[in-house]
Structure 1
Amino acid sequence: MKQAIVARTDIGMGQGKLAAQVAHASLSAYEKADKRTQRKWKNGGQKKIVLKGSSERELHELSEIADHKGIAQSLIRDAGHTQLEPGTVTALAVGPAEEDLVDRVTGELPLF
């Protein structure tokens, strides 16, 4: 079991903003997973990786692929209170799900 969080690299988020957006994505996708998947992921150590995404379009495309494969996912839009304009897409979490399923969606992306 694993979760992959894809964070955009093209919008200049500071480290704190990046950390917050990754956390939002992780929790949001976890909450969308079914109870069995949640339990399995939690009991397995909550494995997660953070990957680089190059654009909003890329995150939308990955979100659609995950959705099509039936994998819990969550696309995060910033509220716009600090560094970014309201509604800016910042991150996407894919999973938790079986590791091979997550890798089919995000396996080609570089680690953050």
Structure 2
Amino acid sequence: MFKRLVAPALLFGMAATAPPAYAANCAARDIVVERLESKYSEHLLAGGLQQTRNASTVVEVWTSELNGTFTVIVTTPQGISCVVAAGTDWFRAHRVAEVPGTPS
């Protein structure tokens, strides 16, 4: 009976104490920024402050016009940045100028 309880208890304990899956995409902001700049030639395009119940985080969009890549990171007040989205075929949308006197 004891042997039957040990294996499930160990597996459950390992699963319960394992870091979340997104933790593999997190590091100190300086490290994340250095990697985006050096490896992907990305530069900060836009950012903003995201308010949540517990804290505020900074959301940033990094892009590379050269490679067509983009990365979205979220940075906590403690300085930890997590990659929440990344991809290819980045494009910049341009607003179409309205013609004066034309109804929209």
User: What's the TM-score, normalizing by structure 1?
Assistant: 0.25
Report the TM-score when normalising by structure 2: 0.26
Larger relative contact order (Cα-Cα within 8 Å, sequence gap ≥ 6): 1
Structure holding more helix per residue: 1
Higher strand share: 2
